[in-house]
Chains A and B, each alone.
Chain A
């Protein structure tokens, strides 16, 4: 148990739709990162939020957006879903710093049809 929960665990959406994925971080963790993991690949960094501000972004288009809330929860929003967005989406929370451990949720499996 990492203390990080994601919802929903599974989701099926239609191409062109919008989706919101949710993550509840550990209390006191002021940093949350989101990752996309395609089947058989390593997690790809989408973006990171620190104290409710975006603090770095990977190579993902603007239709991927996020929010972080004061209660240690966060959201990943994806607009105009494409078939290639089908993946496992992972959030990771940690305390800001150079040598800290990130705690991962179990992920949301998104299937776009």
Chain B
């Protein structure tokens, strides 16, 4: 079973708009990571946020973590067509075993 669940399952926005994806998980974690996957290819690591951090930025990405609610969000600002992909949250709860959610499919309309 999946540890995390992303919401929404699919998101379609206009180029230039911001995209927000949410992730909820079930158990306590060491960290939470976000990955991107283009069209059934390998996963690309985007950002890692530790359990004692609340917010982290990387370029156009902003990640928040609320351990009391067991949830995280990924914000992509000023979206581009090249951001079209599936985005997964993944939690690391014990000894580096990364468990993935079911993903959000993001489509950017030109």
In the bound complex, do residue A98 and residue B42 qualify as a contact, i.e. CB atoms below 8 Å apart?
no
- Contact status of A45 and B98, CB under 8 A, knowing A99-B50, A99-B92: yes
In the bound complex, do residue B50 and residue A43 qualify as a contact, i.e. CB atoms below 8 Å apart?
no
Per-residue CB contact flags for chain B residues 18-59 toward chain A (1 = under 8 Å, else 0) read 000000000000110101000011111100101000000000
Per-residue CB contact flags for chain B residues 70-106 toward chain A (1 = under 8 Å, else 0) read 0000000000000000001000100111111111000
- Contact status of A33 and B97, CB under 8 A, knowing A98-B30, A102-B45, A107-B42: yes
Q: Could you say which residues of chain B place their CB within 8 Å of the CB of A56?
A: 95, 97
Q: Could you say which residues of chain B place their CB within 8 Å of the CB of A101?
A: 33, 45, 48
Q: Could you say which residues of chain A place their CB within 8 Å of the CB of B12?
A: none
- Give the distance to chain B from A107, nearest Cβ to Cβ, in Å: 5
Q: Could you say which residues of chain A place their CB within 8 Å of the CB of B50?
A: 99
Asked whether any CB of chain A lies closer than 8 Å to the CB of B2, the reply is yes
Q: Which residues in chain A, 2-39, are within 8 Å of chain B measured between CB atoms?
A: 2, 4, 31, 33, 35, 39
Number of B residues with CB within 8 Å of any CB on chain A: 25
Number of A residues with CB within 8 Å of any CB on chain B: 32
- Contact status of A92 and B98, CB under 8 A, knowing A99-B50, A104-B43, A109-B40: yes
- Contact status of A33 and B42, CB under 8 A, knowing A98-B30, A99-B30, A101-B33: no
Q: Could you say which residues of chain A place their CB within 8 Å of the CB of B44?
A: 2, 104
- Give the distance to chain A from B43, nearest Cβ to Cβ, in Å: 4
Closest 10 A/B residue pairs (Cβ)? A42-B100, A106-B42, A104-B42, A104-B43, A98-B30, A42-B102, A43-B100, A42-B103, A101-B45, A99-B31
